[in-house]
Amino acid sequence: MNDVAICVFASGTFDKATQGLAGAGRRLANEFGGQLKAIVLGANSQLLSTELVKLTDDVVVIPQNDYEPETSLDALTQVCRKLAPRAVLFGNDTYSQEVTPRLAHRLGGSAVGDVTEFHVQGDALRVSRQVYGGKAEAVIELKRSPAVIWSRARSFAPADPLTTPGQITTAEIEDHDIRHTRIIERKREAQGELRLEEARVIVSGGRGIGGPEPFEAELKPLAELMGAQLAASRAACDAGWVPPTWQVGQTGKKVTPDLYLAIAITGASQHMAGISEAKNIAAINTDPDAPIFKHCRFGIVEDYRKVVPLLREKLEAMQNSQT
Amino acid sequence: MNILVCLKQILDPEIPAREFRIDPTKREAERGAANLVTNIFCENALETALQFRERTGESTITVLCFGAATAEDVLRKALAMKADNAALVINDGNPHPDPLTVAIVLSAAIKKLGSFDLIMVGREAGDWGAGQTAGLLAEELKLPCVSFVDRIETSNGKLHLKRQTDTGWEILETETPLVVSVTNDEHNVPRIPKVRDVMMSFRQPLTQWTLEELGINAEEARVGNSYYEVVELGIPQKESSCEFVAGDTLDEKVETLAKRIAAVTASL
């Protein structure tokens, strides 16, 4: 079969990642000459399905209350066996990353993660991804079918709506005797409702911030003024200044904002691996030779303690003069 | 509990980008003057196991590595950190086998080593970063799997696993045996072994196997690319075209900075 299936978890919303996933899925389906299907996991998925069906040829809903590693994997396997797609695409959330290799194994396919680009060469599917902490880029050919992939979904162009939308069906899932791993507690530490991966503007602080207090007193008001989400480098998270969920980089979140403002971040390749798909990077740093500036659209060589309060003043004045 | 921790030896990921070279024909990084180190997430996994043993007592920790002969260093260091047993499967084939090959080799070695309640691996490696070992190993061994774990507790004969998610954390209740992938947090920073324990580690026995001794298809494992194959490797060229905002005073510079920020964010 030449169809492509995209998989989303209903705990998410119809965000830019889901739209980008549908866009990448449609492009790939066109190259294979097949249809684009969507698999939505979650009983409470009506909103998401209604939006997705405008972009895909069919939506299959898995009526499971919530994600749970073993039962969700089993249900996805059953649906994918029926659909028999050439490729199954996921976004870059926790559950997608967890499911991808195991689903590939069960379907006899090949998995690959953190994909930034797809290339179809004859019958073969090749993907690009960063390796060595963002210092190099590899093109990888998947040898088995289906290809099961998670990608930096938000960086792909969204799908165009269809003139005649597809249909929404509910999958019938057979109950299998599975040893469960039950999620007994969930805790959100996110700021507001938006995932960092979805943020359009990010203000991020590094080791040079010096402690937890300036994040609260300096960076937070700046982020609020800019309508930005706060993030941090590994050094700042490891030091315990901010929660680990804020961490951007190879070992943290891979983000794709329109503007990433890096404050007192040197820009080690480990960190850059998380922001390589950002549209614009800007930096405030005392060291003109800091690697971060090599990736910047614009920047300032100054102590952030002097720049940030003044910058807040300027931005505030500009916003006031507009209204 | 019988715990097994998988370890990987990698090129030191901390080497600066300007010293990083690749061999495009071999499609791998050149070692140059860089050190070989234990992958950090593997050390986080070992540290999590050691702390679990300290809290609960009576656990045995075995460390396992699939790698070149140099990977003995990784296992000796783990023994110095007070792992109980160590085993090395010598890789004399493809130095970067695909994730399925790794999982097939590790699962065969694990079966040969005995039976384990908890199998722990790092969430991904600092070189190729595929992040597939835990999932594929769980499938090869037909066990459940939980990813991104940073803490393990026991409660009424079950395990409580705390794991990191996009938006915070979750606690999962599971039975053993199972496979977990471990991520870093402030509590599982790997300990530094004592000098005396480092010396001692060189006198401890270390099991070594060839691929043939595992009873798997050794030739296929040496080729190691039936799942996926790296067809190109390159260093992306980044041109430095950063505009350093101009101005005679700090005030002027920040004024320009604010304008640039507004220009980029206004188009949203």
Q: How far apart are CA A179 and CA B146, in angstroms?
A: 13
With an 8 Å Cβ cutoff, are B234 and A137 in contact? yes
Q: What is the DSSP letter of A242?
A: S
Tokens of A239: 């030091």
**Residue range B156-171, pLDDT digits in tens:** 889 999 999 887 899 9
Contact at 8 Å (CB) between A20 and A157?
Answer: yes
SS3 B88: strand
SS3 B97: coil
Give the Cα separation of A268 and A255 in Å (integer). Answer: 16
pLDDT band at A179 (very low <50, low <70, confident <90, very high): confident
At A84, list the tokens: 């028999």
CA distance B137 to B147: 12
- Which residue in B66, B61, B145 sits closest to B105, CA to CA? B66
Q: Do B236 and A291 touch (CB under 8 A)?
A: no
Which chain A residues are Cβ-neighbours of B233 within 8 angstroms?
A: 131, 136-139
Q: Does A187 touch chain B (CB under 8 A)?
A: yes
pLDDT tens track for A220-251: 999 999 999 999 999 999 888 998 889 999 88
Nearest to A310 among B170, B238, B251 (CB): B251
Average pLDDT over residues B133-154: 97
Average pLDDT over residues B189-212: 96
Instruction: Please give the single-letter amino acid code of residue A161.
Output: P
Structure confidence at residue A45 (pLDDT): 85
Q: DSSP label at A153?
A: G
**pLDDT at res. B99:** 98
CB atoms within 10 A of CB A44: 11
- pLDDT tens string A275-301: 988 989 999 999 998 999 989 999 999
Asked if the model's pLDDT at residue A190 lies above 70, the reply is no
* pLDDT band per the 50, 70, 90 thresholds, residue B192: very high
pLDDT given at position A214:
96
Per-residue model confidence (pLDDT) at position B239: 63
- What's the rounded Cα separation, in Å, for the pair B9 and B14? 14
Triad B95, B98, B100: Cα angle to 5°: 130
| Residue B167 to residue A200, Cβ atoms within 8 A | no
What residue has token string 């050919």?
Answer: A141
CA B256 from chain centre, in angstroms, equals 44
Q: A318: burial class by Cβ within 10 Å (0-12, 13-18, 19+)?
A: middle
Beta bridge partners of B234: A137
Task: Give the model confidence (pLDDT) of A17-71 as tens digits.
Answer: 899 999 999 999 999 999 999 999 987 788 899 999 999 999 999 998 889 999 9
* Interatomic CA distance for residues A214 and B46, integer angstroms: 34
Task: Determine whether the interchain pair A251/B185 forms a contact, defined as Cβ–Cβ distance below 8 Å.
Answer: no
Residue A12's pLDDT band, with cuts at 50, 70 and 90, is low
Predicted pLDDT of residue A273: 87
* Residues in Cβ contact with A256 at an 8 Å cutoff, skipping those fewer than 6 apart: A152, A154, A155, A197, A277, A278, A279
Q: State mean pLDDT over B82-100.
A: 97
Given a contact cutoff of 8 angstroms between Cβ atoms, the answer to whether A204 and A261 are in contact is yes
Q: What is the pLDDT of residues B5-26, one digit of tens each?
A: 999 999 998 888 888 999 988 9
Residues of A within 8 A of B262 (CB-CB) are: 315, 318
Put simply, the chain A residues between 44 and 103 with a CB less than 8 A from any chain B CB are 69-70, 93-94, 97-98, 100-102
Q: What's residue B15's pLDDT? A: 86
CA of B147 vs chain A CAs: smallest distance (Å): 6
pLDDT of residue A13 exceeding 90, the answer is no
In whole angstroms, what is the distance from residue B123 CA to residue A322 CA?
A: 48
For residue A21, which of A117, A159, A161 has the smallest C-alpha distance? A159
Interface of B with A in 238-257 (CB under 8 A): 238, 240-245, 250-251, 253-255, 257
Q: How many Å apart are CA A49 and CA A56, to the nearest integer? A: 10
Q: What is the pLDDT of residue A83?
A: 97
- Determine, for residues B174 and A182 on separate chains, whether the beta-carbon distance falls below 8 Å: yes
> What ipTM score was computed for the predicted complex, to two decimals?
0.93
Question: Which is nearest to B75 in space by CA: B155, B251, B196, B193?
Answer: B193
Which among A307, A47, A167, A97 is positioned nearest to B244, based on CA atoms? A307
Longest dimension (CA), chain B: 73
Residue window 201-240, chain A: list those with CB within 8 Å of chain B.
201, 226-227, 238, 240
Cβ-Cβ contacts under 8 Å for B81 (sequence gap 6 or more):
B46, B47, B50, B190, B191, B193, B197
Beta bridge partners of A283: A262, A299
Is A112's Cβ below 8 Å from some Cβ in B? Answer: yes
Alpha-carbon dihedral sign for residues A265, A268, A271, A277: positive
**Of A75 and A182, the one with more pLDDT:** A75
pLDDT tens figures, A113-165: 999 999 998 889 999 999 998 889 999 999 999 999 999 888 899 999 999 88
Other residues' Cβ atoms within 10 Å of the Cβ of residue A125? 25
Give mean pLDDT, residues B76-86.
98
Q: pLDDT tens digits, residue range B233-251?
A: 999 876 668 999 988 999 9
State the pLDDT at residue A192. 58
pLDDT score of B265 more than 90: no
Gap between the Cα atoms of A148 and A97, Å rounded: 11
Question: Does A110 contact chain B (CB < 8 Å)?
Answer: yes
pLDDT at A250: 84
CA–CA distance, A150 with B124 (Å, rounded to integer)? 15
User: What is the pTM (predicted TM-score) of this model?
Assistant: 0.88
B11 Cβ contact partners less than 8 Å away, ≥ 6 residues apart: A132, B29, B31, B34, B36, B37, B127
The answer to whether the CB atoms of A110 and B227 lie below 8 A apart is: yes
Whether the predicted pLDDT of A186 surpasses 90? no
